[in-house]
Amino acid sequence: MPDVNPGREKVKEYIERNNISITDLAVAYGVKKQDLASYLSGKLDNPRGNQIILKIISDFRIR
């Protein structure tokens, strides 16, 4: 499984900088708020979490 930690950090920076709540993002991606928070913190590191992180990076064009 590829390491998405750099992407995870960029997503966290992006949502903080743009005042996007984890709750709103979770609703938009159809995941539980707690799961998304765990994916972003790195506490829950699994293929589903990695897919969500990569999808957010792609959708918001985070570079």
pLDDT of residue 1: 59
pLDDT of residue 3: 81
Closest CA to 5 of 61, 57, 60: 57
| Token couple for 6 | 């750099």
Closest CA to 25 of 55, 48, 3: 55
| Token couple for 37 | 């928070």
Distance CA 16, CA 14 (A): 5
| Token couple for 51 | 């897919």
What's the predicted TM-score (pTM) here?
Answer: 0.91
| Token couple for 50 | 């990695």
Mean pLDDT for each 10-residue chunk of the chain (63 residues)?
Answer: 87 97 97 97 93 96 95
